[in-house]
Amino acid sequence: MLKEILKQYQIPGMLTMNNGETCTTKEMWEIRRKEILTLFAKEVYGEMPPAPEHVTFTVKGCWENQIQGKARIRKIEASFMTPSGPFTFPFHYYEPVADHPVPAIVFLQFAEHPVYCSFPVETIMEKGFAVAVLNYDTIQADRYDFAQGLAGMYITGASRWDDLCADTYAQNMKRGETQWGFIGAWAFAASRIMDYLQTLKTIDKTRIAVMGHSRLGKTALWCAANDERFRLAAISASGCSGASLSKMKDDTCERIGQITEVFPYWFSRRWPSYAGREKEMPFDQHWILGAIAPRSFYICSGSEDSWAGPHTEYLCAVAANEVYHMLGMEGLLHPDRMPEAGDIFAQGSAAYSMHKGTHYLGQFEWNNVMEYMENMR
Ligand code: GTR
Residue 169 has pLDDT above 80, yes or no: no
pLDDT (tens digit per residue) in 45-78: 999 999 999 999 999 999 999 999 999 999 999 9
Confidence grade of residue 167 (pLDDT, cut at 50, 70, 90) = confident
Q: What is the mean pLDDT of residues 136-157?
A: 89
Angle between helices 215-226 and 26-40 (to 10 degrees): 140
The residue whose CA has the least distance to atom 10 of ligand 1 is 215
Half-sphere CA count of 324, side-chain side, radius 13 A? 22
* CB count in 10 Å sphere of residue 23: 22
In the prediction, which pLDDT does 158 show?
46
Q: Is the CB of 259 under 6 A from ligand 1?
A: yes
Q: Which atom of ligand 1 is nearest to the CA of 241?
A: 9
Q: Which atom of ligand 1 is nearest to the CA of 258?
A: 8
The residue whose CA has the least distance to atom 2 of ligand 1 is 259
Phi, psi values for residue 338, rounded to 5°: -75, 155
**Which of 377, 351, 375 shows the shortest CA–CA distance to 365?**
351
List of residues 6+ apart from 65 with CB closer than 8 A: 72
Question: What is the rounded distance in angstroms from the CA atom of residue 374 to the CA atom of residue 377?
Answer: 7
The residue whose CA has the least distance to atom 8 of ligand 1 is 259
Question: What is the rounded distance in angstroms from the CA atom of residue 73 to the CA atom of residue 175?
Answer: 38
pLDDT (tens digit per residue) in 18-44: 999 999 999 999 999 999 999 999 999
Question: What is the rounded distance in angstroms from the CA atom of residue 369 to the CA atom of residue 106?
Answer: 12
Partners of residue 131 on adjacent β-strands: 94, 105
Ligand 1 mutation target, pool 241, 259, 305, 359, most atoms within 8 A of CB: 259
Residue 214 has pLDDT above 70, yes or no: yes
Q: With left for phi above 0 and alpha for psi between -120 and 50, is residue 88 left, alpha or beta?
A: beta
Question: What is the rounded distance in angstroms from the CA atom of residue 183 to the CA atom of residue 268?
Answer: 10
In the prediction, which pLDDT does 173 show?
75
Q: Is the CB of 305 under 6 A from ligand 1?
A: no
Confidence grade of residue 229 (pLDDT, cut at 50, 70, 90) = very high
Q: What is this structure's pTM? A: 0.97
Phi, psi values for residue 243, rounded to 5°: -90, 75
